[in-house]
Amino acid sequence: MSPYELYLVTDDNQDLDTLINVVTQAVAGGVTMVQLREKHHNVRDFLYRALAIQPILRANNVPLIINDRVDVALAVDADGVHLGQSDMPVAYARRLLGPDKLLGLSIESWAQLEQAKHLPIDYIGLSAIYPTATKTDTQYHWGLEGLNAALADYDKPIVAIGGIRPDNLAAVAATGVHGIALVSAICHAPDPQQATRAIISIIQQSRACM
Ligand code: TZP
Ligand code: MG
Q: Per residue, what are the HEC states of 7-18? A: EEECCCCCCHHH
Give the separation between CA 104 and CA 66, rounded to whole angstroms: 10
Give the separation between CA 18 and CA 175, rounded to whole angstroms: 33
When pLDDT is averaged across residues 181-185 and rounded to a whole number, the result is 98
Active site residue 2: no
Pocket residue to mutate for ligand 1, from 183, 184, 187, most atoms within 8 A of Cβ: 183
- CA 175 vs. chain centroid, Å, equals 17
Residue 179 scores a pLDDT above 90: yes
Active site residue 135: yes
Task: State the pLDDT at residue 80.
Answer: 98
Pocket residue to mutate for ligand 1, from 135, 168, 199, most atoms within 8 A of Cβ: 135
Residue 1 scores a pLDDT above 90: no
* Arithmetic mean of pLDDT over the chain: 97
Q: What is the pTM assigned to this prediction? A: 0.98
When pLDDT is averaged across residues 20-24 and rounded to a whole number, the result is 98
- CA 168 vs. chain centroid, Å, equals 17
Give the separation between CA 147 and CA 114, rounded to whole angstroms: 14
Three-state DSSP at 148 gives: helix
Task: State the pLDDT at residue 208.
Answer: 81
What does the pLDDT look like over 109-133, one tens digit per residue?
999 999 999 999 999 999 999 999 9
C-beta of 164 in contact with ligand 1 (< 6 A): yes
Confidence band (pLDDT; 50, 70, 90) for 210?
confident
Written as one letter, the residue type at 91 is A
C-beta of 163 in contact with ligand 1 (< 6 A): yes
**Predicted complex ipTM exceeds 0.90:** yes
When pLDDT is averaged across residues 166-181 and rounded to a whole number, the result is 97
Ion ligand 2 nearby residues (CB, 5 A): 68, 84, 87
Residue 191 scores a pLDDT above 80: yes
Is-contact 2 159, C-beta < 8 A?
no
Alpha-helical segments (H) within the chain: 16-29, 43-59, 70-76, 90-97, 110-116, 143-153, 169-173, 184-187, 192-208
